[in-house]
Amino acid sequence: MIEIAQSAGFCFGVNRAVETVEQAVGEKRKVVTLGPIIHNHHVVRRFRELGVEVIETPEEAKPGDTVIIRSHGVPRRVYEALQARGVEVIDATCPFVKRIHGIVEKADAEGRLPIIIGTRAHPEVEGIAGWCGHCRVFESPEELESFARSGEISPDAPICMVCQTTSTENLWKKCVEIAKKEFTALKMFDTICRATESRQTEAAELSRKADAMVVVGDVQSSNTGRLAMICRQYCDRVYLVDNASELRQEDFAGAAFVGITAGASTPAWIIKEVNKTMSEITNDVVQEENFEELLEQSIKTLNTGDKVTGIVTGIGNTEVQVDLGTKHAGYIPYDEVSSDPSVKPEDVLKVGDEIQVFVVRVNDQEGTVQLSKKKLDGMKVWDDMAAWVEDKTTVEGTITEVNKGGLVANIKGIRVFIPASQSGIAKGGDMSGLVGQTVKMHITEVNRARRRVIGSIRAVLAEERKAAQEKFWSEIEVGKKYHGTVKSLTSFGAFVDVGGVDGMVHVSELSWNRIKNPAEVVKVGDEIDVYVIAFDPVKKKISLGYKTAEMNPWNQFMTKYAIGDVVDAKIVKLMTFGAFAEILPGVDGLIHISQIADRRIGKPEDVLSEGQEVKVKITDIDAEAKRISLSIRALLDAPEEPSEEA
């Protein structure tokens, strides 16, 4: 049997960095990365084949380069050096690492000594250290304890302690114990990436039950090395491989259960190849299974309070059956599946699903064990919520009701109160329309003892608006077209929302015809296509155009009419020398007094009046001067067409 850890492969930060490079390459930029984008030579080689260069110092960046900062992050001085060279910089630093930069920078400004628990030579740690004037890095609890007792620093000196995101939970906890004992003015921030923690926990759990473990990843990768180290604590046969070609069949002789995990920098395609090769290997090995070892595994003991992993084997009328790989028959009562009473077990579970559950009660006499998915989910949600507050994570919840003070949402069975001021609805507005909707929010306060959770929709809307505005200003250019919505009208123009940012269309840019009020052309709520005439990123002002060359009445006339055409026109103005007639809105032609009638007349009003509809012939077009000569007389002088009978 082969089992792959659920969290194996790219973490959020690495995936974000890789996607950033792919996007920049797709935009045909000249892309370079400051150091390898991730610790995996297969990925680096693939990007090199796509034209992405790797530079080691800012000084190697050339004009026209787009320099991408890798997920590990870099010191502040590197940003400054790149800016001084005038190159475009895209920051793909993992958000969790970026948060540590902010913590140590603030601590340094407050006069606290930043202490970093991690590997000194690791790029992430070097980057963190570059955001404060002075700091200390310790790789082990012993180093930290030796420093604390050396007399180099006072026990009551202000300290701020953080750790490398890929550090192990065990190392951090030991350092916390020492720091609490040795320093009295201590601030601590557990900055281990939760994805890293999850990956390490899964690797430990998998290696506990595996006969052999395969850890896939680049040998230069710190987090891959730590995974292998963790697996070796629980499994004697651990193989760290770069790819499937390094797997040897003889290494897995007699292994009935093989676990596979992978570092955060390992691409999915390499993991798939390893899984396929291992499947081919274990097909030969299965015939040599040691049934005594399998029997020993089947009589593992379970205790109340354990968190265990099992496979759903059946969904009955009152309970869900779960195979825990032990002598006990596991079951989850329906009311222990979910904290949401409206959820049906078959909606969230399927036969064959692997799930984590909480052991509620063990009955050795009957050989059964009662399990709860709801309890374990609840414990995880409260832990998650505390982390969401600190990390300002955006989460989704369903609005269940409106009350006097605001809204109530459900997030994984937890009741979340959203004050009216944080609902995103204007004061006095109707919030009932949100009931039943899934909305995004930030968790701003968690009190586990009182089971009180406060959320904010408004905070997410503000972030999204800010992100949209930043994206807009980074991409705006003269001539760029946008589809926008008219937000308001003034006497001098219309304000149009073009994606979270308002621009103004001056009244002169609304129409080719003379208009007195913008309302003659557009109204609030209209969706219109506009283009950028000018913009000021400092003052955040944008001038937009609405009228286009295609809308120009003269261009329409030139496309539609030619000399000799007979058209319907309306007399719009009488002069002593003739009459002006409108052919199209905004396009007038002159009927000279000599061309009004087939006889001499004293003045145009003897024959014509304003508003009168007449047929005229186009006798001349001066395209350069935009002048048109018309004639009524030419139609009066024209000979009649002979009839067919004649």
**What are the catalytic residues?**
124
In the β-sheet with 258-262, what is the strand arrangement from edge to edge?
A: 2-4, 258-262, 212-216, 238-241
| Range 631-634, long-range pairs (CB < 8 A, 24+ positions) | 631/591, 631/592, 631/595, 632/591, 632/595, 632/596, 632/597, 633/594, 633/595, 633/596, 633/597, 633/598, 634/595
b/e burial code for range 292-306 (CB count within 10 A of at least 16 → b)? eeeeeeeeeebeeee
Whose CA is closest to 591, among 602, 608, 599?
608
Q: Which residues on adjacent β-strands are paired with residue 485?
A: 497, 527
The CA distances from residue 315 to 75, 331, 344, 348, in Å, are 54, 10, 11, 11
Question: Which tokens go with 311?
Answer: 């496979």
DSSP-assigned letters across all residues of 354-397: EEEEEEEEEETTTTEEEEEHHHHHHHHHHHHHHHHHHHT-EEEE
Q: Residue 413: CA atoms inside 13 Å, Cβ hemisphere, count?
A: 20
Q: Tell the burial category of 612 from Cβ atoms under 10 Å away from its Cβ (0-12, 13-18, 19+).
A: middle
Place of tokens 């605001």: 406
Supply φ then ψ for residue 380, to 5 degrees: -65, -40
Q: How far apart are the first and last CA of the chain?
A: 102
DSSP-assigned letters across all residues of 207-266: HHH-SEEEEES-TT-HHHHHHHHHHHHH-S-EEEESSGGG--GGGGTT-S-EEEEE-TT-
Q: Whole-angstrom Cα distance, residue 212 to residue 602?
A: 112
Identity (one letter) of the amino acid at 552? N
Question: Which tokens go with 580?
Answer: 């002006």
Q: Which residues contact 353 (CB under 8 A, 6 or more apart)?
A: 311, 312
Whether the Cβ atoms of residue 506 and residue 517 lie closer than 8 Å to each other: no
Cα Rg for the chain, rounded, in angstroms? 37
Whose CA is closest to 257, among 225, 217, 285, 228?
285
Q: Whole-angstrom Cα distance, residue 143 to residue 151?
A: 14
Q: Whole-angstrom Cα distance, residue 81 to residue 87?
A: 10
* H-helix segments, 267-309: 268-285, 291-298
